[in-house]
Structure 1
Amino acid sequence: MNIALGTIAFGTAVDERGTFAILDRFAEAGGTMLDTANNYPFWIEGRTGDESELAIGAWLAARGNRDQVFLSTKGGARPTVPGDTTLGSAEGLSAPAVAKAVEGSLRRLGTDHIDVYWTHIEDRSVPFEETLGALNELAVAGKIRSAGASNMPTWRLERARNVSAAHGWLPYTYLQLRHTYLRPRPLTRLPESGHMLATDETLDYVRSEPDLTLWAYNTLMSGAYTRADRPIPEFYDHPGTARRLATLHEVAAELGATPNQVVLAWLLADGYVPIVGVSTMAQLDEAIGATEVKLDDELRARLDEPR
């Protein structure tokens, strides 16, 4: 299953029993990829950012299945000031900060290695050589298996990959950005300061680099495709959105699928890894069902035509 399970709610909005049930069902369905971070969900009052990793670590320990899981976590955006719910005191990507962040994640997750370790946000105060050198040292030590860049623009990613190539270091081979079926208005600035949207240039770059895999987050817009109480974000407010939504619902009806499932199938068809955050078993089952939705060339062309 080429879907990654988003785990922000685990250990908080979803208690341990619910977390274990969702993870068990995901694994039974063939899911292996888990996406977390060392700061989920620090922005909620009273939370530290430990919660998601601790919940996953408890499940891995209880099930003894670490070798069957592709574990993904992130560092760089954890607050260094207790109680800070902004990115104002983020730990950053200096070599000491990266090393400390990885050790903390390994401890909370109860593992000796991370399959893909992401730099969560940019830190332009630190040269690429320092951050990438630190990541390479961690790879040599066996603590991380691969590296990913989250919320990084395409030109910076290309520069970073060139730095790694020049030194023979572990390169970024994963990219994580906000991406869904709807198209934002040009020159959109997101209200979430740490988020970055995939652009046409990004997608073209990923297609051109065989060793680079895109993981897409906020794929279902927190339920906005199907829930009346979840409005579509304002930056998608343009005429093309109405046409795109109409086509999405037409295709879903023809296939006997939900709009969410068609969105996920559309992402999967391009080889991207959609991250799906769930808090209920019904949401998880809907996501699992998306792997059975097949889009032929005609349907994909229809979905891609509206602008």
Structure 2
Amino acid sequence: MRYRTIGIDPATRREVSVLSLGAMLFGTATDEATSYAILDRYVEAGGTFIDTSDNYAFWQNGGQGGESEELLGRWRRSRGIGAEVVIATKLGARPLAPGTSYVDNPEGLSAKVIREAAERSRERLGVDRLDLLYAHIEDRTVPLRETVEGFAELVGEGTVGLLGASNHRAWRVERARGIAAAAGLPGYEVLQYHRSYLPSRVDLPIELDPDGDVGWVGPDLASYLRAEPQLALVAYSPLLKGAYARPDRLGVEYDLPSTPARLAALRAVAAETGATVNQVVLAWLMGGDIPAIALVGASSVAQLDESLAAVDLALTAEQRARLDAAR
């Protein structure tokens, strides 16, 4: 396993594995025994960075969220897991009532919600301090200063370590960080967005691509990350839910003229290295010009093992250049 440091302040920064394990469906679609087996294998391989949210997975079996955190809490206690494993969680997108969603009825990012939701996450996870807490989605109904100060209060009290943002427009992240810096408060240091090898279309109506350019690393956010290298990028859904191995599963958002050429380049590099196309995607992502921590899901130990092997896959400069140039 390889590792990198996230965070700037020596009091809160952490060293984490470059491959993060997503626990979104643990405790719902992925049963407890399978979830435990995947988590055990991840830690055995040197993995130290697990991702969840207080709303995972509200869409499964009529739930409201919290099932993933609860499973992780049980697993931690059963295995004696302590501070050696960093668990990141998120708040702001948990539905307020069963049968609703984060689109029409989210908990939001008021100071009250931040405090109460963080406390419930700590209880479900069985920890005194949340290692990394993200603002999951934007909340334009609450003054940004209130959100910034609400998160900062928890850091000051020692119940939260690092702060992060996910699925926010780049200007909103920068404005929040500016508010925090001007007030001498801790701000966002970790950004979690969708990033993968295939670029996504930007012209789709919202009903076909609800996250649009908010949830993925587009040109504006890429430029921002290059200008602010102290920020850590955690890239979710890098494998497009298995679509690299099954291109027929690619959604309309990847219907671009460059897609066939980029898929062909992937297959060629995979053949040269003896790796799978998924492993090449992860190696490209983790070693790119915007180095990212790859956040992968797994519904079996075999799927996890495929991703773990990508950590040791070294692409040559020529291979990377071919992948980047494919149009």
Superposed pair shares fold, TM > 0.5:
yes
Shift of 1:84: 1.8
Q: Tell me the TM-score normalised to structure 1 length.
A: 0.96
Pick from 212, 216, 232 the counterpart of residue 235 of structure 2.
Answer: 216
Task: Tell me what 2:259 maps to.
Answer: 241
CA offset digits 1:87-111 (Å, max 9, x no partner): 2110000000111110110000000
Q: Aligned residue for 2:66?
A: 50
Q: What residue number does 2:292 align with?
A: 272
Q: Report matched runs for 1:72-111 at 5 Å.
A: 72-111=88-127
1:22 alignment partner, one of 38, 43, 46 = 38
User: For residue 118 of structure 2, what is the amino acid of its counterpart?
Assistant: V
Root mean square deviation, CA, Å: 1.4
Q: How does 1:167-246 map to 2 (within 5 A)?
A: 167-189=183-205, 191=208, 193-194=210-211, 196-227=215-246, 231-246=249-264
Conservation of the 8 A alpha-carbon contact between 1:44 and 1:85: no
2:135 and 2:164 in contact (8 A); partners too: yes
CA offsets 1:116-151 (integer angstroms, 9 cap, x no match): 100000001111110010111000111110110100
SS of equivalent to 1:67: coil
1:290 to 306, 310, 315: 310
Q: Contact 1:75 / 1:98 at 8 angstroms: preserved in 2? A: yes
Aligned pair 1:252/2:270, yes or no? Answer: yes
Distance 2:183 2:204 in 1: 36
Change (3 A) 1:186 1:83: closer
Structure 2 counterpart SS, 1:124: coil
1:129 aligns with 2:129: no
Q: Distance in 1 between matches of 2:135 and 2:91?
A: 5
How big is the shift at 1:189? Answer: 5.0
State the alpha-carbon separation in 2 of the partners of residues 183 and 192 from structure 1.
14
Q: Quick one: structure 1 residues 162 and 73, their matched pair in 2 at CA, closer, same or farther if it must change by over 3 Å? A: same
Query: TM-score, with normalisation over the residues of structure 2?
Result: 0.90
* Deviation string, structure 1 residues 157-183 (Cα, Å, up to 9, x no partner): 111111110001111011111111001
Which segments of 5 or more consecutive residues in structure 1 lack a partner in the other structure?
none
Matched to 1:14, the amino acid is: T
Contact 2:238 2:295 in 1 (8 A): yes
Moved more, 146-155 or 194-203: 194-203
Aligned partner letter, 1:261: Q
Task: Tell me whether 1:158 sits opposite 2:174 in the alignment.
Answer: yes
Pairing 1:33–2:49 present: yes
Distance 1:233 1:3 in 2: 25
Count residues with an aligned counterpart.
306
Q: Distance in 1 between matches of 2:143 and 2:267?
A: 46
Whole-Å separation in 1 of the counterparts to 2:119 and 2:210: 26
Q: Which secondary structure does the structure 1 equivalent of 2:193 belong to?
A: strand
CA contact (8 A) 2:94 2:101 kept: no
